[in-house]
Amino acid sequence: MRGSMMMTRSGFPRSSSISVRSCVRSMKEMSLSSTRFSPQPAGSTPRRRTTDINHHVRGNIPTSLSNRHANRKNNRRRPFVALEHTRGRRPTQDPRVMYRTFAASTLLALPLSAALAQTKEPEERRVHATLYTQHSRVEPGQVTWVAVAFDIADEWHIYWPGQNDTGMSPIIEWKLPEGWKIGQPRWPAPHRYLAPGDLLDHVLEGRAVVLYPLRAPDQILPGSGAMIFAHVEWLVCKDMCVAEKQELMYSYRYVGSPGDPLPQTRDEDSQIIAAARAALPALLPRTGSPVRAAMNENGRLEVRADVPGELIFCPHEAGRAVLDVHGSCVSQTGALDVGFKPGDDRPVQGEISLRELDGKVHRYTFRHPSISSDELDGFETEPQKEQPNPGETKP
């Protein structure tokens, strides 16, 4: 059929072969217009240029384009010719044969290139992100939990949103239907990572689960659904750093039509989310904790441990800037005295951890001024008078 694409035995469209042949013909014509040569009788010794400095053509091949086309048929079967060349060089093969050889080798290489491109393995990921949801069906106004889990390759790490020297924490951007609201992220506890050059970062390794409270709208159509999307980017580092990203999505169904069951949980997802919530650092309590923390009259944070062990304060990137993260935020004596940048009016915010000598670890969230759990999740609450942090007691 005219205009259709016909296939050759090699698997390539016939139009591709015609295109290559046309290119070869054009290249040959350009070469013949710039190269002067003369026919060489078979069996004779190639003639060398001696005094022909004006590049006169020997033989019956003219230089005009029309005559060259007229004599092309007669010279097509002649395998070799003696070129007019500079003194001392050997005769060169007929350019027409050279270009045919080039075209044939190119066509043979194309299938191999295509096969290599198809069999090339995708680049290996250092981190794989997964979206987990506590419920598959929700009621109007219900608060459910979603989680973005980062599975990190061995010896690699991503960054906690702390006051780091080099790394930046993952970026999680949500796209929600109208009326839905996402809360603030609840991050797992980090640990300090000191790199060569005295560079300090707060990092996450292994599996890191970032939790978000998600609130459904109050007015929804029973039996309808909604899709949530998350665009995730992160920096993962070992001896070098690699930027990666991933798109995540989940579809909810609303409960409310006759015959619908109560809000349904996703068993496996719910277990993962429940374990991650249990591992979150709790707000520092007023009593019953081996750690006490408070702001003194000089605007410094004092932290004391009632049992021996390693005491660490990891300042959050959204909190007040710490003057000496390297020295003042870690202690083996059970006491911390943390100073802050003058003029910074942001709240003091971070994670306090105590590792006892037997390996037991206590983790707490500290914030001054104090906030409620709902405010920590990022949802609006009724205005309240400022109260001291439940764990903010004089050391």
Same domain, 74 and 40: yes
Query: Which residues have C-beta within 8 Å of that of residue 67, sequence separation ≥ 6?
Result: 61
Residue 138 has pLDDT above 50, yes or no: yes
Q: Is 386 part of a structural domain of the chain?
A: no
Q: Which among 52-66, 205-219, 251-265 has the top mean pLDDT?
A: 205-219
233 and 177 in contact (C-beta within 8 Å)? no
Same domain, 162 and 189: yes
Q: Is 395 part of a structural domain of the chain?
A: no
Break the chain down into helix, strand, coil percent, rounded to 5: 20, 35, 45
Residue 35 has pLDDT above 50, yes or no: no
Q: Which of 56, 37, 36 is nearest to 46 (CA)?
A: 37
Last residue of one domain, picked from the residues 119, 135, 164 = 119
d(CA 357, CA 24): 79
Position with higher pLDDT, 289 vs 9:
289
Same domain, 198 and 73: no
Tokens of 238: 């070992």
Q: Is 81 part of a structural domain of the chain?
A: yes
Q: Where are the alpha helices (DSSP H) in the chain?
A: 14-34, 65-75, 95-119, 267-279, 325-328, 373-377
d(CA 98, CA 340): 76
275 and 145 in contact (C-beta within 8 Å)? no
Same domain, 234 and 139: yes
CATH number for the domain spanning 257: value is 2.60.40.1250
Section 97-115 average pLDDT: 47
Report, in angstroms and rounded to the nearest whole number, the Rg of the chain calculated over CA atoms. 38
Same domain, 295 and 269: no
Residue 284 has pLDDT above 60, yes or no: yes
Same domain, 170 and 77: no
Q: What are phi and psi of 233, to 5 degrees?
A: -130, 145
Section 295-315 average pLDDT: 96
Section 345-368 average pLDDT: 95
Position with higher pLDDT, 31 vs 292:
292
Q: What are phi and psi of 140, to 5 degrees?
A: -60, 130
Same domain, 270 and 347: no
Our CA angle for 153, 185, 124, nearest 5°, is 20
Residue 89, classified by CB atoms within 10 Å of its CB into exposed (0-12), middle (13-18) or buried (19+), is exposed
Section 246-254 average pLDDT: 91
pLDDT at 370: 87
Q: Is 383 part of a structural domain of the chain?
A: no
- Say what the alpha-carbon torsion angle 272, 273, 276, 282 is, to the nearest 10 degrees: -160
Same domain, 346 and 264: no
Same domain, 272 and 181: yes
H/E element, 212: strand 207-215
pLDDT at 183: 93
Q: Is 387 part of a structural domain of the chain?
A: no
| Residue 82: domain span | 14-119
Q: Is 4 part of a structural domain of the chain?
A: no
Last residue of one domain, picked from the residues 94, 119, 144 = 119
Same domain, 58 and 200: no
Specify the residue for token string 């973005």. Answer: 148
Same domain, 298 and 350: yes
Task: Report how many domains make up the chain.
Answer: 3
Q: Is 72 part of a structural domain of the chain?
A: yes
Q: What is the mean pLDDT of the chain?
A: 75
Last residue of one domain, picked from the residues 92, 119, 146 = 119
Same domain, 212 and 302: no
